[in-house]
Amino acid sequence: MRVLVPRQEMTGADRSWAQQYQIDDILRYSRASKETGIGKGEYGRVIAVHAQEKTLTVQRATGEQTTYDPRRQMGVSVYREQEKAFSIGDRIQFTAPNQELKTANRELGRVENIAQDGTMRLKLDSGRSVDFAPQHFPHLDHGYAVTSYSSQGQTAERVLIHVDTELGAKDLVNHRMAYVSVSRGQWDAQIFTNDREKLSQALSHDVSHQSAYKPEQTIASMHQKIAASAAHGLEQGTGLGLGM
């Protein structure tokens, strides 16, 4: 089954620069633009990146080709097509909001049934059951792993956290991400990283507004809360682990 999975390495700032896009990126537009002529809810596939001109050319669903400066088009989500196989019982998540189903981006659920035409019956974590046709809205992915951002408000008995320190330069790894991720686990949180030496520096990176509070206070508070989480886990016979 062909589904659309977000390009996680692209930040909001990256979407304003043509050089950050790749051929065959799938773009979903949540805002209309009179300047580009692209409407809300449209999709486009990147067919050319013009680095010197700082523009993209996209193929729209109508077959029309549109070239524009991405700095002039807001509300863009970037996806890649991937082949995925789903079975009854699989944990799933939506990768875009769906107004018809009244589901939110990153909402989680489980596959209850798959019909011969591919339609799925999903039991959402909220308790609702919905019938979903991926061929008409291919924003679906396995839900066994979620981003730190989309995990906010959720809890689990145990969390495994993957931290790639190379993403620190793109502001994707920072102390806020660390606290949110670690605090999702009720009893146990383990961090797996590509570089133990760079981990502490990456997780100390501050992205907060200094007008609200001082970075050093925020970092200190985060370390105290992580330490408290670890101590609580040890009391329960588990611990905060660091894996490579």
Per-domain boundaries in the chain? 2-80, 84-142, 149-243
208 has pLDDT over 70: no
Side-chain-side CA neighbours of residue 200 (13 Å): 3
| Mean pLDDT, residues 91-115 | 91
pLDDT of residue 215: 46
Looking at residue 140, its pLDDT comes to: 92
The CATH architecture assigned to 2-80 reads Roll (2.30)
Asked whether the domain spanning 84-142 has the same topology as the one spanning 2-80, the reply is: yes
pLDDT at 207 > cutoff 80: no
3-state secondary structure of 202: helix
**Is the pLDDT score of 64 beyond 70?**
yes
Rg of the chain over Cα atoms, rounded to whole angstroms, equals 20
| pLDDT of amino acid 11 | 78
In 3D space, the residue among 148, 165, 139 whose CA is nearest the CA of residue 78 turns out to be 139
pLDDT the model gives residue 90: 95
**Under 8 Å between Cβ of 112 and 125:** no
Cα three-residue angle 137-140-143, rounded to 5 degrees: 160
Q: What's the CA angle centered on 38, arms 33 and 40, to 5 degrees?
A: 80
Mean pLDDT of 125-130: 92
Q: Enter the tokens of residue 105.
A: 């981006």
Please compute the mean of the pLDDT values over residues 119-148 and round it to a whole number: 88
Query: Using CA atoms, how far apart are residues 74 and 218, in angstroms rounded to an integer?
Result: 31
Residue 226 pLDDT > 90: no
Residue 212 has pLDDT above 70, yes or no: no
Q: Which CATH number fits domain 84-142: 1.10.357, 2.40.128, 2.30.30, 1.10.3470?
A: 2.30.30
- As a dihedral over the C-alpha atoms of residue 106, residue 109, residue 112, residue 114, rounded to 10 degrees, the angle is 10
Lowest average pLDDT, out of 30-44, 50-64, 76-90, 133-147, goes to 133-147
Tell me which of 120 and 237 has the higher pLDDT.
120
- The model carries a pTM of 0.64
